[in-house]
Each structure stands twice: as structure tokens, then as C-alpha cells.
């Protein structure tokens, strides 16, 4: 019980800090429009995915507090579609500015909040379209061997397999 109260207090402190910065700078707050569903014990998710979803409940709580305080302080909150923010950030901004993919994806979220269109760079799409099936299979093998993060590895492999199946 005491831990939950402490976490709630921290959420309010962080929400106040975020909204104070936005008010001071005269800027809007841009957040991802996440769809977090309650799945319960017998839901569709288990293991790592279940833990990630349950962890997101604290994130959702923080977002609700930010929205509430922003409304009170007259700060605009913009929600953007989170689709491909990590991939676009990793391909476009991480190599350009030598930053992590998480910070790069926040660039993408901010730019979407400004109303700018963010897409996977055309040069990457052109490059992938020019590869033969054998080269794509070789690339898939490289990904399997060298990408350590299982989730990222599987995401890349699925994308490559979709390109292989493409006529």
C-alpha cells in the first residue's frame, strides 16, 4: 500500500515538472496515443508481453496526470500515432545525430506533433527493393546471427520475410 502511494506521489511530481517546463517554454506536450487494454490473468498475453503491458499501466497513469494538469494550466496536449516511431528514429535520426534509438524516436514523436510527415527514408526502401531474394535471405541470416535483442531480431526478420514474399 505504501509503495503504491509513493508511486502515485512520484507520478504527480513528474507530471507537475513536465507541465511546468511546457508552461515556462510556452510549448505544447506531445505524447504517443497508446492503446493499453486490460487483459487480466486469462487474457491473450503472457510472459514478457504481459509484464510490459502491466508496466504500461503506470505510464498510462502518468499520462492521465499530465493531461489533467495540462488542462488546468491551459497547455495543449497533442497525441500522435506511435506507429514506426522507433524504426524511423533509428534509421533517420540516430545515425545523423549519434543518439540512441529511444531519443531518436522522441524526435519523430515531436515532429509528428508539429504536423510533419515522418516516413521510413526513401533511400532505405529503394535499397531494400533492389535486393534480390538471395541477398534478402543472406541479410536475414546476418540479422539472426548478429542482432542480440530477440524482439528487435524478430521484428526485422518479419519485415525481411514480407519483402521476400512481395512479388
Assess if residue 24 is contained within a domain.
yes
Residue 126 is assigned to a structural domain of this protein: no
140 or 111: whose pLDDT is higher?
Answer: 111
Q: How many CB atoms lie within 10 A of CB 149?
A: 9
Residue 31 lies in a domain: yes
Residues 23 and 65 grouped into a single domain: yes
pLDDT value at 167 more than 80: no
Same domain flag for 88 and 14: no
Q: Are 31 and 18 in contact (CB under 8 A)?
A: no
Q: Are residues 7 and 64 in the same domain?
A: yes
Q: What is the pTM of this model?
A: 0.64
Model pLDDT for residues 81-108, shown as the tens digit of each residue: 888 888 888 888 888 888 888 899 999 9
- Is residue 60 very low, low, confident or very high in pLDDT (cuts 50, 70, 90)? confident
Q: How many CB atoms lie within 10 A of CB 32?
A: 18
Residue 125 lies in a domain: no
Residue 76 and residue 15 share a domain: yes
Region 19-33: what's the mean pLDDT?
A: 94
> 98 and 141, same structural domain?
no
Pair 65, 11: CB distance under 8 Å: yes
- What is the pLDDT averaged over residues 36-52? 56
Are 28 and 68 part of one and the same domain? yes
- Residue 42 predicted with pLDDT over 80: no
Axis-axis angle for helices 2-25, 47-73 (nearest 10): 50
Q: Which domain holds residue 157?
A: 131-165
Q: Which of 2-16, 36-50, 93-107 has the highest mean pLDDT?
A: 93-107
pLDDT of residue 26: 95
> 154-166: per-residue pLDDT in tens?
877 887 888 788 7
With a cut of 60, say whether residue 37 has pLDDT above it: no
Q: What is the mean pLDDT of residues 71-78?
A: 96
Q: Which residues of 116-126 are buried (b: 16+ CB within 10 A; e: fewer)?
A: eebeeeeeeee
User: Is the pLDDT reported for residue 20 higher than 90?
Assistant: yes
Amino acid at each position: 500500500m505504501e509503495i503504491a502511494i509513493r508511486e502515485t506521489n512520484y507520478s504527480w511530481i513528474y507530471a507537475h515538472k513536465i507541465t511546468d517546463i511546457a508552461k515556462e517554454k510556452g510549448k505544447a506536450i506531445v505524447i504517443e496515443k497508446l492503446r493499453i487494454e486490460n487483459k487480466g490473468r486469462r487474457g491473450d498475453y503472457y510472459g514478457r508481453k504481459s509484464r510490459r503491458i502491466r508496466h504500461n499501466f503506470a505510464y498510462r497513469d502518468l499520462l492521465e496526470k499530465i493531461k489533467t494538469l495540462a488542462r488546468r494550466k491551459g497547455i495543449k496536449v497533442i497525441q500522435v500515432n506511435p506507429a514506426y516511431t522507433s524504426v524511423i528514429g533509428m534509421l533517420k535520426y540516430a545515425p545523423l545525430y549519434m543518439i540512441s534509438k529511444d531519443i531518436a524516436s522522441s524526435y519523430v514523436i515531436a515532429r509528428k506533433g508539429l504536423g510533419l510527415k515522418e516516413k521510413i527514408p526513401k533511400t532505405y526502401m529503394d535499397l531494400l527493393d533492389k535486393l534480390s531474394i538471395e541477398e534478402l535471405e543472406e541479410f536475414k541470416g546476418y540479422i539472426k546471427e548478429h542482432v542480440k535483442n530477440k524482439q528487435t531480431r524478430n521484428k526485422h526478420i518479419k519485415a525481411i520475410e514480407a519483402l521476400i514474399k512481395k512479388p
